[in-house]
Structure 1
Amino acid sequence: MVKVREDHPIADDGNVDIRAWVQRLPGNESRGDETRDELHRACQASSAADLSATQVAHGWGASTSSFRIGLEMAEILADLQLDQDTLVAAILYRAVREEKLSLSEVQKSFGETVAKLIKGVLRMAAISYQRGEEDERVFGRQSDEQAENIRKMLVAMVDDVRVALIKLAERTCAIRAVKTATAARRRQVAREVADVYAPLAHRLGIGHIKWELEDLSFRYLEPIDYKRIASLLDERRLAREEYINTVLQQLRHELVVADIQGEVTGRAKHIYSIWRKMQRKGISFSQVYDIRAVRILVPTVRDCYTALGIVHSLWRNIPHEFDDYVASPKENGYRSLHTAVIGPENKVLEIQIRTFAMHEEAELGVCAHWRYKGTDREASENSYEQKIAWLRQVLEWHDELGGDSQHFKEDLRTVDQDRIYVFTPEGHVVDLPKTATPLDFAYRIHTDIGHRCRGAKVNNRIVPLNYHLNTADQVEILTGKREAPSRDWLSPALGYVNTARARAKVQHWFKLQARDQNIAEGQALLDREFKRLALLDLDFEALAKKLNMNSLDDLYAAVGASDIGVGQVLSAAQRLLDAANPKEPVIPFKAKSARTKKGSDVFIEGVGNLLTQIASCCNPVPGDAITGYITVGRGVSIHRQDCSNILQLQADEPERIIKVSWGETPQSSYSVDLIIEAYDRTGLLRDVTAMLDSEHINISALQTLSDKRKNTVDMLLTAEIRSINELSRILTRLNQLPNIASARRKH
């Protein structure tokens, strides 16, 4: 259990005695003078910010300062033996959140790591900001899926386990402080803590924080049940813990007598846990046998049964309350002996007995404590469970290393997430694949919203429909009165929809349209595509047969209904033309041969056929970052990028340095002339070349002709294209650029 806050030491001037507080902080004896000075400096900065800024209560109560909150958070984290950066971030966090101190000031004074930790906690605070008054709509009355999505979103946002721990400390302070707030405010904070942060502490294995969060939130959410169970216990927690300590001493003595090198621990069951067990099993208070629980850890399986015999010889066991999960493990691999007995003073005791190896397996293996005991459903996303496991592992490693902050920092690493979690305008959380767009979000909410989608806002800012969403974004879909999906949404090159659900919904809508309309739409779509690709002599009847269509109208109808994509039709056209003209490339391009050294894995970008040789001064091997130097008469010399010779040559003769890459012989490309007609504007040429560069398209020639009177510009550029589908994608993307009237292949 997190210890109850003690009053902060007060100096003669009536303010907190910072130096005395730092000396009293848990774990102080292991800290050096430099760490103490840093904590002292952080306290001074927080205190000064608190005094100089207007007090912003944020529901804590007008008498509670961000400085005092920071001290309390640091005390909680010091009990967990967190490092200096974490404690400093905790001290300063509320001052930054209440805008009494800026992140830039924190970074300048306390370093990038502290600023990054505070920024991470601020991102997690988006949960509270987004819900606002919609709290009851998101939590409690909805299904458990919403709360689970919230927890997943929080985990997805955390790249450093210390961020989650600071947030847990902050919410612990919050739930403690609301006892003087209004009933509505107490319920709001308690609901958030119960649904999000207590389960998060549970999954991270931080039991003492979990118990306090559960008990306090239960007290405000179910005050009648809380008081009833508290009265039934008929003793204060301190008395219960004293009872457990008496039992532990007796068991330890008996183990020593039996020559067993065991470890005995115990705790008094907290109020929320008792209530939850009564609700889950439909039993009365008198049937809850594990109000007082003891765990015995021993070296061997033989010792487990010996310890069980000792327990049953000391106290009478309760019938039907013995489970042997050692001989018959649970399906998840959990192993332990469970028994319930009538202990001293005729009070019921639950006792678990297992080996040290079994305990480690239960805590860290596939049957970790939070998984076998928790009521959460099995998550479908492996990456989420993987990240939870990572967070728990880092905590365990930190504990094993005795709080060594240097090793702790090295253990911090990010597990890639394949899901994102975004808010609806009402505060609900929706999970989507990592590459999801606003259109994917719209179809995830409802098919009708997707069909009527005309635009989107992300965090109150208009964004394109192919914008990639990020975790914690708030998404609002702008809709029209009638359903009118666009066929452009199905183009992979444009990236409007990236989920199978959204794509299937769009395709289904087009299938339902009248056949005549689909024929007309499909014909117009193919005519426009073939015209801009300059494929005017194509045998369309043969193309339809190539695609196993009975007639050209069937092909048009299939394209119009989105049963066949334009890309599939282009691929079939390319195969058809290749078969008709085996000696000529499709749409007769001029082939450019791949440039590579014979017998080498190096190919040269941007130059003609040049010999290459590996520099003997650094002898780069595949995988090294490399750079080329054009020699006199000996081709291109390939150096490692960190080679001292190439670094000197870059300074002396930069014009001879060229870009080179490791790789197989690149695919043959073809020179294609493209015509772009546009309305002139600043940055137009830059946008065109930047787009082509993003597609790794090499431009070998470029001409522009401007008409100042009409404010138009015509561009003729020669690009190296590898396939007809790539040409189609490039033309589609060019046509999407602002001010581009048309982009097509030159006839």
Structure 2
Amino acid sequence: MSEKPLFEDIKRILIEQNREPAEIEEIEKAYLFAKRLHDGQYRVSEEPYIIHPVEVAKILVGLKVDSHTLEAAFLHDILEDTDTQPEEIEKLFGKDVLTLVQGVTKLGKLQFKSKEERQAENFRRLFIAMASDIRIVFLKLADRLHNMRTLNFMTAPKQQKIARETLDIFAPLANRLGIYKIKAELEDLSLRYLEPDKYFEIARLVSQTKADREATVKILIDKISQDVKKAGINAQITGRAKHYYSIYSKMKRLNIAFHDLYDITAVRVIVDTEKECYEVLGLIHSQFKPIPGRFKDYIAMPKGNMYQSLHTSVIGPKTKPLEVQIRTWEMHEVAEYGIAAHWRYKEKGSQKANNPTDMQFSWMRKLVEYDKDMTSAEDYVNSVKLDLFSDQVFAFTPNGDVFDLPVNATPVDFAYRIHSEVGNKTVGALINGRIAQLDTKLNNGDIVEILTSKTPAPRLDWLNFVVTKQASSKIKQWFKKNNREEHIDVGKNNLEHELTKAVFDEYTKNGEFDKVAKQMNYVSAEDLFAALGYGETTLNKVINKLKKPESTRGVGENFHGTSRKKSEKDIIGLEGLMYSIAKCCSPIPGEPIVGVVTRAKGVTVHRMDCPMLEHIEPERLMDIKWSGDNTNRTYNTTIRVETAEKIGLLKDIIAAVSDNGTNITYASVKSKSGKVGIIELGIELDNIDTLKKVILSIQAIPDVYSVKRIQTSYSTPNMPKRNNGKARHNKNPKKKSS
């Protein structure tokens, strides 16, 4: 193979971009060096390995990156795949190029517990490096894009793994940086391997409907062209079909078929000035009826990745809805190339842009901040995916500072995004000048004012609704540092309640809690109990690691019985929170429930009609509901059966309970005046429907007078005992009873 042909296309583009001859010479030097070192190496596709760095460089030339980035593109696999030492790269190409190459080089032969841990650490290193020099992510995105283009040579499992990773991390990263051209191709290629049937079906439908769409769009384009020409506006007007993954996502999100989508094709109008954007918008709306609620002004309020355009949807020719985007040429370049275009503009000026200090990219600095808060690489990567690569909303402080947050973020998330101290001292919030609940979901453009107290006092129940890892991490940190002894007691009490005192004592005696603590990376059992108390870990995680004690083996399901099979998925609204099932009313899946925030035991789950709620302050109540994911889990309740005093009747009742697959935890028999027997049964069941079946089965037994569910008696220092079940019920627990 000749030395230079592979470089000729790149050289031609560099000349077209008016690059300096000395600059082109240095880039070619890097190509020749890489070609020599990769000589004899081949990819899975059986192509010479040098093809890969050449294709990566071609992608980056399209982004018009600087010469050092292009040199690093040719050299980016040198340290990993050859015997070349960093010192040689620095000597030949300089410290800057070496830093870029090292930024995209994977971890070497360090030992990790799993492939997942190694991959997570690779990502953590990439993100941290990216935060210091944005060019590193240009290299990594181009590298990933070419790998995706050649993914057909990989095995099916590897295709799935790489495509999933691309869709979860690299495509959202390209989107966050505004590099639409790379983002769209990464998404489409990922869809091709993750959902091949859907990918090819959408491709077929787009192709089949192309002629009809183009005919409709041509009419619209011709009309707009006439109007802008009359107005003396120079404009380029084109139509384009949206990329396949965008179509797939919308079909999935709205649960509609392909033929129900009306904005598969968008018309794009590019003009010279911002003023002309609004003039063209007026011309279009004067000719075609705008669809209410579909206008978005991203010029006045740009997206977080600097994207600017006017978006409107109109009823076009043949009464078909069409989307129109209007932007300037400069906006168009930023829309296509995102931060790469922004970076170039700043390079032309006096200020270097390698270090992302601009307000638009302040989120990059959080890549470093997250690293300080997260205990493991997996936690770090999950936090980045959730907080930074998910869909965003943009909210403002009263002073006009803008903060980007994930969709469904709340004022508490907003407060912690400002500063951890603001979050810890939050007591309330104003949204657009109105008092709002702290769990209110923020919308784009909301102006949020955080009300604070003088002393920090976050609430554990905030973990129920915050969506950013930053907020949940800071809340847990605060509870971890404060009231340690109280948290130890709470954790011990809740664990003892789950396991029963006898089992808990046996575990304590044989040191099992210390063993589990070390397995979960805690120093001692006390640290484990404290973590349970402030919500860092859950009862299920601890119980699943405990070795079943000898004293409980062969004793039915005592180890996991009744409510002890709860999981984090049992109740919607309590994810990640410590909670327990109220003994006073013993709620069962399928019936309305409410959460009560307690001082020392997290959240207690009550039936909505529990008499105890009458005495609870409304602000301590939480809206919760059963998730429906309660399979193979059991809950306690008690039923009372009134019968004739007859030998053998108890046996029939127990048989009726057992026939419904329900366990009996205890039974008591009493006599009542008039030869009436009272049987109380404690039973374990999975939901309210099972309870109804049990009651009907018992009622069908001859000589059974009545069957009803009963509640446990309760009393507190400030609360009178129930009077034969006649205590007033508060039907609306969200309001104080009068």
Normalised by the length of structure 1, the TM-score is 0.44
Q: Which has the larger radius of gyration?
A: 1
